[in-house]
């Protein structure tokens, strides 16, 4: 009983500290939410790669080994799901998106947006400036462990300051665009901007 009261006190303290957006509740769990099947990679080193194309000097492809050889960082951040749960102080590892840009062909000056292309044709659109934030990652560890398949193994986007659907799972490609283009969930009625502090859950 006392633990339950303490948990509620912790939640209230976090809300008062300005870390929990309106309409959200804090959870210790990490719910699994996705549409369709979870992809499997029996031989990920041979069958997985990451492609980049669009507003770049040229296209490029990184194998699993090439990507995992790139320098990594670890960050701690809060995440907020459109279904109203928030999880605080989550620890992620991977490559900072801004550093990744130094490892691929140069962006053209016209690049303003990014489309994350994922397994089964899922996409998520994010302004390039959002991904230049130091907490934006190409992530493959969570709490010091390899991502589980349900949470995006072998690679997912981690998009700071947005509802969690913008942190697309099962990433396979990054397309750089000179304009915005709606992603999968945005085409089905989710808000294009996804700011949890403004409760931008669904399109008008």
Backbone angles phi, psi at 57, to 5 degrees: -60, -35
- Give the dihedral of Cα atoms 134, 138, 144, 150; nearest 10 deg: 130
pLDDT of residue 3: 54
pLDDT of residue 14: 52
| Strands of 49-54's sheet in order across | 60-63, 49-54, 171-177, 113-118, 123-127
Give which of 186, 174, 159 is closest to 52, Cα–Cα: 174
**54-88 pLDDT, tens digit each:** 999 999 999 999 999 999 999 999 999 999 999 99
pLDDT of residue 5: 39
Residue count of the chain? 204
pLDDT of residue 87: 96
**130-146 pLDDT, tens digit each:** 999 999 999 999 999 99
Residue found under tokens 């990594």: 72
pLDDT of residue 2: 40
Query: pTM of the prediction?
Result: 0.90
Counting as low any pLDDT under 50, the low residues of the chain are: 1-2, 5, 16
């Amino acid at each position: 009983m006392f633990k339950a009261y303490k948990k509620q006190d912790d939640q209230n303290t976090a809300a008062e500290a300005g870390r929990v957006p309106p309409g959200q509740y804090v959870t210790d769990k990490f719910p699994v939410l996705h549409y369709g099947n979870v992809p499997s990679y029996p031989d990920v080193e041979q069958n997985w790669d990451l492609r980049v194309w669009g507003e770049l000097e040229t296209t490029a492809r990184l194998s699993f080994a090439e990507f995992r050889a790139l320098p990594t960082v670890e960050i701690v951040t809060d995440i907020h799901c459109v279904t109203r749960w928030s999880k605080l102080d989550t620890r992620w590892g991977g490559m900072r998106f801004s550093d990744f840009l130094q490892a691929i062909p140069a962006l053209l000056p016209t690049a303003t947006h990014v489309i994350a292309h994922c397994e089964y044709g899922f996409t998520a659109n994010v302004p390039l400036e959002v991904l230049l934030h130091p907490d934006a990652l190409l992530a493959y560890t969570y709490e010091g462990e390899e991502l589980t398949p349900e949470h995006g193994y072998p690679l997912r986007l981690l998009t700071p300051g947005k509802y969690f659907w913008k942190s697309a799972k099962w990433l396979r490609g990054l397309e750089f665009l000179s304009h915005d283009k709606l992603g999968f969930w945005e085409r089905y009625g989710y808000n294009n901007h996804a700011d949890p502090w403004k409760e931008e859950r669904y399109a008008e």
